[in-house]
Structure 1
């Protein structure tokens, strides 16, 4: 079987090159983890790569698109309610189940998922493939991430129980603003100078986007391997985590469809609410975790987010392909 054919087969089940690279990055960190001076250099490089990533996000984001998307207030409020209200409640309800079979750090990570903002690029891409409201999705996902820079750590601080050893230092929020929000704002200010170049050359931006996430994953799991992560988490425990993440994803997706239908949204808005309201951002969640859980066993904390992210990509890819197929059939009639 050729490489292209193999990729086509995997794509039917929602697995693309990026997902495979995420898995291979974890494998690489397991076999060749960064240690000593290499780990120190890697942490400094990762910091500036993340800042560059959010600078580019700010430079790419069109203010006109945000203004247009804000007009659809039902869509925007629905996504925000799903992301920052329903998600944390469901994660909090499922967390006790995770603690029955899983270490405390993974239970904390499961709760952390519920507090994060929506993903941007993948939710917008899935919305476009499904014939959804792309402008509304761009607006909803972007606002979710901007609000999430401050709201996510505050939500986590509110929900995390005392005595777990995990908490949010007040200084952590300022560090998050420095690394994520300030570069984003600088990118918005530089947008008039960079927008044309970024529109013409999308590949460098994608390399920074995907590369930064892979770099963070490698750094986090390198530290975990050095601390013995695979001696703590077993294959059955990993299976339990996958099931819990699937349950959480299914409940939120069901709620998203229900909300969209009850509020009388059309197909385009429903697709935007489904993808933006049920997904969580790895690009924002990983650097934020590096600040919130500095000095702690971050590899176990981010493991639920990694698993949830891979599952959401696979499930959303399958759904979007089916939606695209239905649109093609309608167009052919």
Structure 2
């Protein structure tokens, strides 16, 4: 999708040592990959950025063309993004959508989504950049295309549901059933990385039981994902704000998986966010709301 971050991806891959070209005419794709001669086989990795502006672009025919090039292992990476976020980006940059020169940008976005649907369906990998910063997008590419090793990549992520679910997760676990440290005054400024938070959660009888069960599941499932051909697996833990329970769970699980022989990366998406009473769940406050609050108050039709 135009505006989903193609230029950022090509810049990141170029920094990783890839040969990159943007908006290459489709007719030149084979020559670029082969270096201009049929006998040549590319040694290093290459990335070709294409969208609806690329000359000869045909979303239905492109997958077959890519996979017909001899001597290389082709992969289609499709960059997606929510329509409202694309609108925000176009409004910020004041650029016109390539398919809406004289129409509102949302018309071009809808048309492009229809045009590229066959390419999205044929994609080997999809990255939704809606909630990713440029730095997070670069980190995601490094995890997906490691340059030093062909070993599968495991990433453990924490996030806050109040700020949107993780869009890169293969497996997602909700930790909001645990006691919330946010409502303990002295713990509120801390995060799940801090030991007092871990000690507080360990007092919850559900903590150890849940982590034991999830560890057993993950140590069984992750190798099965890799055996099925996935080169990377992302496991996400969520809580309300993304600062306490999910962070502690991600840290604890990464430690357990390392002891089990895995080498996980850890990313805390919302760790830097500020604590906020308005997005956290207060069981006491919720109970007061259910009971009607002040005994002298009532509801009138």
TM range (shorter): under 0.3
Larger RCO: 1 or 2 (CA < 8 Å, sep 6+): 1
With structure 2 as the length reference, what TM-score do the two structures score? 0.26
With structure 1 as the length reference, what TM-score do the two structures score? 0.25
The structure where helix makes up a greater share of residues is 1
